[in-house]
Structure 1
Amino acid sequence: MEAKKSSAKKISVIVVILAFILMFFNVLSSRFTPSTNQARVQGLNLSLAPMVSGYVTRVDVSLHSEVKEGDTLFIIDRKPFEIAVTQAEINLENVTQNLTAGLSGLKAATAQLNSARVQLDRSTKNWDRTQRVMAQNEGALSEADRDRSESSYLSAIERVKTAEANLEGQKAALGPTDANNPLVKGAINQLEKANWDLEHTVITAPSDGVIESFNVETGYFASAGHALATLISNKTIWIQANFTENNLTHLKVNDEAAITFDIDAGEVYKAKVTSIAYGVKTQSTNAANLPTVRSQQGWLREQQRFPVIIAIENQDIYKKLRQGSQANVVVYTGNSFILNTLAKFKIWFTSKASYVR
Structure 2
Amino acid sequence: MSERELNKEKVKETPAAQITKPEVNVLVETADPVRRITKYVLAITALIFIWYIIADRHAPWSDQARVQTYVIPIVPQVSGRVTEVLVKQDQIVSPGDVLFKIDPSDYQLAVEDAEAALELAGQEIGAGMATVVTAQAQLVVAETNVEHVRAQSARVFEMEEKNVLSHSDGDKARAAIKASKAEVISAKANLDKAKQSLGKAGNANPRIRSALAKLKKAQLDLSRTVVLAPSLGGITNLQIDIGFYAKAGAAAMTFIEGNTAWIQVNLRENNLANLAIGNSVEIALDVDPGTIYRGKISSIGFAVDTASTSAVGSLANVESKSGWLRDAQRFPVMITFDDDSTKGKRRLGGQADVQIYTGDNWFVNSLGWAWIRVLSILSYVY
TM-score (norm 2): 0.81
Q: List gaps (5 residues or longer) in structure 1.
A: 287-296
Shift of 1:318: 2.7
The aligned counterpart of 1:279 is 303
Aligned partner of 1:245 among 244, 261, 269:
269
Q: The residue matched to 1:129 in structure 2 has which SS?
A: helix
The aligned counterpart of 2:259 is 235
The aligned counterpart of 1:124 is 150
Measure, in 2, the Cα distance between the counterparts of 1:37 and 1:311.
Answer: 16
Q: Does 1:32 align with 2:63?
A: no
Aligned partner of 2:355 among 322, 330, 337:
330
Measure, in 2, the Cα distance between the counterparts of 1:149 and 1:314.
Answer: 97
Shift of 1:151: 4.5
Shift of 1:25: 2.5
Letter in 1 for 2:272: L
TM-score (norm 1): 0.87
Measure, in 1, the Cα distance between the counterparts of 2:82 and 2:97.
Answer: 16
The aligned counterpart of 1:167 is 191
Q: Does 1:352 align with 2:377?
A: yes
Across the two proteins, how many residue pairs are aligned to each other?
341
Letter in 1 for 2:176: S
Shift of 1:73: 0.8
> Does 174-183 or 218-227 show the bigger shift?
174-183
Measure, in 2, the Cα distance between the counterparts of 1:29 and 1:192.
Answer: 62
C-alpha change, 1:32 and 1:170, in structure 2 (3 Å) is same
Q: Does 1:99 align with 2:99?
A: no
Q: Does 1:264 align with 2:306?
A: no
C-alpha change, 1:131 and 1:58, in structure 2 (3 Å) is same
Cα deviation, 1:228-282, whole Å, max 9, x if unaligned, reads: 1001111111011111111112121222221111111122222222221122222
Cα deviation, 1:54-105, whole Å, max 9, x if unaligned, reads: 1111111111111011111111111211111111111111111011111111
> Does 107-116 or 266-275 show the bigger shift?
266-275
Q: List gaps (5 residues or longer) in structure 2.
A: 1-28, 311-321
Shift of 1:208: 0.8
Q: The residue matched to 1:318 in structure 2 has which SS?
A: coil
Q: The residue matched to 1:335 in structure 2 has which SS?
A: coil
Letter in 2 for 1:274: S
Measure, in 2, the Cα distance between the counterparts of 1:17 and 1:205.
Answer: 58
Measure, in 1, the Cα distance between the counterparts of 2:137 and 2:66.
Answer: 81
Equivalences for residues 28-107 of structure 1 within 5 A:
28-107=54-133
Cα deviation, 1:291-322, whole Å, max 9, x if unaligned, reads: xxxxxx97522321111122233422231221
Cα deviation, 1:24-81, whole Å, max 9, x if unaligned, reads: 3221111111100100000111110011111111111111111011111111111211
Letter in 2 for 1:187: A
Measure, in 2, the Cα distance between the counterparts of 1:38 and 1:316.
Answer: 22
Shift of 1:148: 5.0
The aligned counterpart of 1:289 is none
Measure, in 2, the Cα distance between the counterparts of 1:35 and 1:316.
Answer: 22
Equivalences for residues 191-206 of structure 1 within 5 A:
191-206=215-230
C-alpha change, 1:345 and 1:42, in structure 2 (3 Å) is same
The structure with the largest alpha-carbon Rg is: 2
Aligned partner of 1:310 among 335, 339, 353:
335
Measure, in 2, the Cα distance between the counterparts of 1:132 and 1:249.
Answer: 110
Aligned partner of 1:218 among 231, 242, 246:
242
Shift of 1:211: 0.4
